[in-house]
Amino acid sequence: MKNFTVVNKGTNGKAVMMLTGMVSFYNGEQSFSASKFINDFNKLKETHNEIHIDIVNLYGGSITEGIPVYNHLKETAEEGKVKITGKIDGLAASMGSIIAMAIPVENLEMGNMARIMNHRAKGGAYGTADDVEHQASTIRSYEDDLVDILAERTGLSTKDVRAKWMDGRDHYIKAEEALTLKLVGHTTKSKAIKKAPKNSATPEEVFNFYQQQIVNAIETDSEFIQNQNEDMKLIAQFIAAFALAGIEMNAENASEETILAQVKKVTADNKDLKGKLETAENQLTAQKDLAVANLVATALKDGKIQKSQEASLKKMAENSLEDAQEFVKNQTVHKPLTTQLNNGQNAGAENNGGEEKDFNWYRKNDSKGLMEMKTKQPDEYQALLQAHLEKSK
């Protein structure tokens, strides 16, 4: 059995499709893509007036691949030309749960020992802080869509849906509760599915299978646990997945315990790397702040900028240190207006007989120059005025 399977094309106008494994961008033995599903589904629509969707251990997968599947099923059902019916058996988790919601509630059955699992949208990111923030925003946007779908189905408010299922935990819903919440329209007696289907998942997804099945086992009966030994055949897939990551594991000694230990180690290593990355980013920020401060202080000291330009140069340097350095480099050294006046207007009189050119001197001898200083060199003017006021105390 690969991907999903057209179980029965039927001669009575009814076709049956089974969805299992994961919805993904990749078409393989453990997954199917939206385009593959829609293409085969449309072929059945051309020759059948009813299509029944059996959802058997559909563990979720990609939101971007799952939403088109949901939309296509829902649009077909609303169009009314082809009747869409379905049944959940085993587990419909995450995106698998959302896909099931496309089937009209009155046409959707659920096995009495089956489960629906809802939780928050999940994803990951690698890169700069901006990259991570952008990905987080994208995940939240997708989560809003999932909340809207569940709110429309159940009649609950989006606020109640978030409080009920979007708290960071996996929520497993039994058939009777699903019926009460209007997630499904009917419940039927069925046997618990104890074995992972051969097309269950890729190595990463096998981990999710065990996690989900352990929860189911606790909630059902001890017989489920006893049958887990057969599922240990999937350990080989774990070994292959670790090998791709450069982690060697001895097949003879591999067990649930050693696999769990390795998963914990990888998780710890990842956490350590994230911590080091955060430390490095903080150090880089501190170094940049120091470089900005030094650039502004040196430019001010060397007369390349005035005090009034300090804030604007700092902002420029924070945006682009290289641009700010180039700006300072191209500035001429600023000579205070008092120096210019001393070297110009009174040239030939050797330092005006040694008289200090303070605020009073300018008022008596060069009031025009004083006014020019106030307009063109406000910092110089304020310094001269402040010295005069201090002397007058």
User: Where are the domains positioned within the chain?
Assistant: 5-119+170-201, 273-329, 337-392
Pick the closest to residue 267 from 245, 243, 234 (CA basis): 245
- The predicted pLDDT at position 73 comes to 97
Q: Which two tokens stand for residue 291?
A: 């470089």
Q: Domain 5-119+170-201 is in which class? A: alpha beta
- The predicted pLDDT at position 279 comes to 87
Contacting residues for 182 by C-beta, under 8 A, at least 6 apart: 105, 153, 154, 155
User: Can you tell me the distance from the alpha carbon of 140 to that of 123, in angstroms, rounded to the nearest whole number?
Assistant: 10
- Residue by residue, DSSP assigns 233-259 as GGHHHHHHHHHHTT----TTT--HHHH
pLDDT bracket for residue 26 (50, 70, 90): confident
On average, the pLDDT of the chain sits at 79
- The predicted pLDDT at position 190 comes to 52
**pLDDT for 388 beyond 50:** yes
- The predicted pLDDT at position 152 comes to 96
**What Rg value do the Cα atoms of the chain yield, rounded?**
36
Pick the closest to residue 53 from 73, 30, 31, 36 (CA basis): 73
Counting Cα atoms < 13 Å in the Cβ hemisphere of 311 gives 1
pLDDT bracket for residue 244 (50, 70, 90): low
Q: Could you tell me how far CA 229 lies from the centroid of its own chain? A: 36
- The predicted pLDDT at position 305 comes to 83
**pLDDT for 4 beyond 50:** yes
pLDDT bracket for residue 304 (50, 70, 90): confident
pLDDT tens track for 162-202: 999 999 999 999 999 999 999 999 999 755 445 554 444 45
- The predicted pLDDT at position 337 comes to 52
CA geometry: angle at 103 spanning 220 and 188, to 5°?
35
**Residue predicted with more confidence, 11 or 77:** 77
pLDDT bracket for residue 115 (50, 70, 90): very high
**pLDDT for 87 beyond 90:** yes
**pLDDT for 136 beyond 80:** yes
Residue 79: left if φ>0, alpha if ψ -120 to 50, beta else—which one? alpha
Provide the residue type at 217 as one letter. A
- The predicted pLDDT at position 161 comes to 96
- The predicted pLDDT at position 153 comes to 96
Paired residues of 171 in beta bridges: 118
- The predicted pLDDT at position 364 comes to 87
- The predicted pLDDT at position 51 comes to 95
- The predicted pLDDT at position 210 comes to 52
**Residue predicted with more confidence, 321 or 234:** 321
pLDDT tens track for 55-83: 999 999 899 999 999 999 999 999 999 99
**pLDDT for 143 beyond 80:** yes
Residue 348: left if φ>0, alpha if ψ -120 to 50, beta else—which one? left
Q: Which two tokens stand for residue 63?
A: 């939101």
Burial class (CB in 10 A: 0-12, 13-18, 19+), 159: exposed
- The predicted pLDDT at position 347 comes to 41
**pLDDT for 229 beyond 60:** no
User: Can you tell me the distance from the alpha carbon of 365 to that of 253, in angstroms, rounded to the nearest whole number?
Assistant: 99
- Residue by residue, DSSP assigns 89-124 as EEEEETHHHHHHTTS-GGGEEEETT-EEEE------
**Prediction pTM value:** 0.49
**pLDDT for 249 beyond 90:** no
User: Can you tell me the distance from the alpha carbon of 76 to that of 241, in angstroms, rounded to the nearest whole number?
Assistant: 38
pLDDT tens track for 332-381: 776 555 555 455 444 434 445 556 678 888 888 888 888 888 888 787 78
